[in-house]
Amino acid sequence: MTLVAQNVVVRQLTEFTELVATQRLYESIWRSNGNTPPVTAELLRAMTKAGSYVAGAFAGDDLIGACIGFCSPPDAGSLHSHIAGVAAGARGRNVGYALKLHQRTWALERGLREVTWTFDPLVRRNAYFNLGKLGADATEYLPDFYGLMHDDINAGGESDRLLVSWRVQAPEVVAACAGQPKVVSATGAVALGISDDGLPVRGTCTGATALVAVPPDIEALRVANPAAATEWRHAVREVLGGLLASGARVTGFDRSGWYVVDRSSS
């Protein structure tokens, strides 16, 4: 099944050699360096046998992306997408988007209403991809959700996550999957901004709409200035997490680096 990304085929994985390749791909993306891998081929084998979602994106014979998920209890009608990743050399080719469209089709074919997943709220490109390009909704702030992680991307920091809900038949999701991303305007009171030296600056949460900034490249900042990265973690947790806990709703993410938060219901 060819989707969106040119010369890329997304399909379910069944052969054990493909599952081993998926483990190796994830290890290369998260750079676990001999620590516990993000997922093992043995676990993937059990997931495929149980009917869970395990899919890969191929360019020719090369596995360049993969996504895995497992279903919630039947009454929930939901798939939890646990890990998705694209090889470094294949980024910018819409491979991740193709994987998510394949996942949505898989969910629809099984009568599921929703796909959920988590992402690091400090990663700007992922915030736009999830909330803008896919039209998902951020529903809950989860402080230090995975505890201490040992891969190169997450090591040394707390693993806060945003939980998102992708209602697969919602109009904004249908539009996003047809190439019309959800667009929001970064206008409102700045609840968390960025100083001239790149540090978080707390503002005000007055007004109906609050804006919460994130740094341009948190992954580079973690290497160059770990103390600043930690400061951002705690500031976004306090401000964005606090807004969500009070009943406010994230309406989207502006590509210039702002969460747009509706406070009218809080």
Confidence at 265, pLDDT banded by 50, 70, 90: confident
On the question of pLDDT at 18 being above 90, the answer is yes
Torsions phi, psi of 99, nearest 5?
-60, -45
Beta bridge partners of 71: 79
Torsions phi, psi of 129, nearest 5?
-60, -45
Q: Can you spell out the DSSP letters for 34-74?
A: TS--SS-HHHHHHHHHTT-EEEEEEETTEEEEEEEEEE--G
Confidence at 109, pLDDT banded by 50, 70, 90: very high
What predicted TM-score, i.e. pTM, was given to this entire model? 0.92
The rounded radius of gyration (Å) of the Cα atoms in the chain is 18
Q: What is the pLDDT of residue 68?
A: 97
Q: What percent of the chain has pLDDT over 70?
A: 94
Confidence at 173, pLDDT banded by 50, 70, 90: very high
Q: What is the pLDDT of residue 1?
A: 37
The whole-angstrom distance between residue 172's C-alpha and the CA centroid of its chain comes to 17
* Residue 63 vs residues 58, 84, 104, 195: alpha-carbon distances, Å: 5, 13, 20, 41
The number of beta carbons lying within 10 Å of the beta carbon of residue 4 is 18
Q: What is the pLDDT of residue 3?
A: 44
Q: What is the pLDDT of residue 20?
A: 97
Nearest to 161 by CA among 209, 132, 134, 123: 123
Give 107: exposed, middle or buried? Use CB within 10 Å, 0-12, 13-18, 19+. Answer: buried
Beta bridge partners of 252: 260
> Which range has the worst mean pLDDT, 36-40, 81-85, 155-159, 180-184?
155-159
Q: What is the pLDDT of residue 2?
A: 35
Give 160: exposed, middle or buried? Use CB within 10 Å, 0-12, 13-18, 19+. Answer: buried
- Pairwise CA distance, residues 20 & 39, whole Å: 10
Q: What is the pLDDT of residue 153?
A: 64
For residues 23 and 39, the answer to whether their CB atoms sit within 8 Å is yes
Q: What is the pLDDT of residue 37?
A: 81
Q: What is the pLDDT of residue 157?
A: 75
Q: What is the pLDDT of residue 254?
A: 97
- Pairwise CA distance, residues 128 & 255, whole Å: 6
pLDDT digits (tens, 9 = 90+) for 212-243: 999 999 999 999 999 999 999 999 999 999 99
